[in-house]
Amino acid sequence: MPAVGGPSGSPSRVGGRLCLDFVNTLEARLGPPGSVVDHLPTFDAVVDWVAAARALSGDAVRRLKEEAARDPGRAAGAHRRVLDLREALHRVLAAAVRSRAVGEADLALVNALLRDATAHHVLLPGEFGGVVDGWLPGRDLDDVVWPVVIDAWDLLTEPPLRRVKQCPGGEGSCGRLFLDTSRGGTRRWCDMRTCGNRAKVRAHYERRQRTNR
């Protein structure tokens, strides 16, 4: 079982897209079981993550929190569906990036939420005039991830998909997906401060070892 992440539910946002940061909330997914950390251990953590990403309005976040507090069983069911979506979406993205066949069950799950999201995606009056992007409330708390599936739809059908990569980390232990926005498309690591720096240190150590033999 993955370890539980911190109270903020917010790992480093290195994906460059909302949907990539979402699938990266299961950290070190390619590492040994003891190293895997789940940053979305509860439905409240999911809402906190979405709020931190500014993917939903403050009113929507408050409503989700209140409804989850009133009906913990309903919130638990929504949480299970969020985690199912995260893993299905990760598999869909990973397959699409490699131009491989996408699992039918995974695509069906993503499409089901996508149909709900597009049916509830509306323009709302802006606080200071004009309009803003918004969402009509859903029935099952699944609206917490509607912005994620809309972003995934955009990414999966646009040219930037070719720039999505998977970080190898140390000996293949990271697995974060990220959008490579470097000019030459040569970025290898999800974050030079973490995986990239560890790789440099490891390479330096190995060079020293070879020199000292």
Q: What distance in Å separates the CA atoms of residue 97 and residue 130, rounded to the nearest whole number?
A: 37
Domain ranges, ordered by start, for the chain:
3-211
Rg of the Cα trace of the chain?
19
pLDDT per position as a tens digit, 148-162: 999 999 999 999 999
Average pLDDT score over residue span 136-148: 92
Taking residues 19-39, what's their average pLDDT? 88
Coil, helix or strand at residue 112: helix
Q: Which CATH superfamily is domain 3-211 in?
A: Jann2411-like domain (1.10.3300.10)
The yes-or-no verdict on residue 187 having pLDDT over 90 is: no
Per-residue pLDDT, 199 = 47
> Would the pLDDT of 174 be above 90?
no
Distance CA(168)–CA(149), nearest Å, equals: 25
Is residue 91 pLDDT above 90, yes or no? yes
pLDDT of the residue at 193: 64
**pLDDT per residue over 93-138, tens digit each?**
999 999 999 999 999 999 999 999 999 999 989 889 999 888 898 8
What span, in angstroms and rounded, lies between the C-alpha atoms of 143 and 120?
9
List Cα–Cα distances, 83 to 25, 128, 185, 204, in angstroms.
10, 36, 31, 38
